[in-house]
Amino acid sequence: MSFLDSIFGTPLTVPVGHVVLEYRAGAPVRLMEPGRHRVRDMRGLVSVRMREYLLSVAPQEIPTAESVAIRVSMTLRVAVTDPIAYTERAVDPDAVVYLAAQIALRDTVVGVPVEELLRRGDAVDTAPILEAAREAGSGVGLEVRSVVVKDIVLPSEIRSAAVDLVTAKARGAARLEEARAETAALRALANAGRMLDASPALASLRMIQAAPVGAKVVMAVGDGAAQAAE
Distance CA 134, CA 90 (A): 15
User: Do 114 and 23 sit in the same domain of this protein?
Assistant: no
Arithmetic mean of pLDDT, 216-230: 53
For residues 190 and 80, the model is more confident at 80
For residues 121 and 39, the model is more confident at 39
User: Do 17 and 64 sit in the same domain of this protein?
Assistant: no
Of 120, 135, 154, the residue that ends a domain is: 154
Tens-place pLDDT, residues 10-20? 889 999 989 99
Q: Which of the four pLDDT bands, split at 50, 70 and 90, describes residue 75?
A: very high
User: Do 74 and 21 sit in the same domain of this protein?
Assistant: no
User: Do 22 and 83 sit in the same domain of this protein?
Assistant: no
Tens-place pLDDT, residues 138-164? 999 999 999 998 877 776 665 555 555
User: Do 23 and 93 sit in the same domain of this protein?
Assistant: no
172 located within any domain? no
User: Do 105 and 65 sit in the same domain of this protein?
Assistant: yes
pLDDT at 115: 73
Measure Cα distances from 4 to 11, 38, 44 in Å: 11, 11, 20
User: Do 41 and 67 sit in the same domain of this protein?
Assistant: no
Arithmetic mean of pLDDT, 50-65: 88
77 located within any domain? yes
Q: Which domain holds residue 22?
A: 3-49
Pairing of strands 142-153, 69-80: antiparallel
User: Do 150 and 63 sit in the same domain of this protein?
Assistant: yes
Q: How many domains is the chain partitioned into structurally?
A: 2
60 located within any domain? yes
Of 154, 170, 204, the residue that ends a domain is: 154
141 located within any domain? yes
196 located within any domain? no
User: Do 8 and 100 sit in the same domain of this protein?
Assistant: no
Of 154, 175, 204, the residue that ends a domain is: 154
Distance CA 78, CA 51 (A): 9
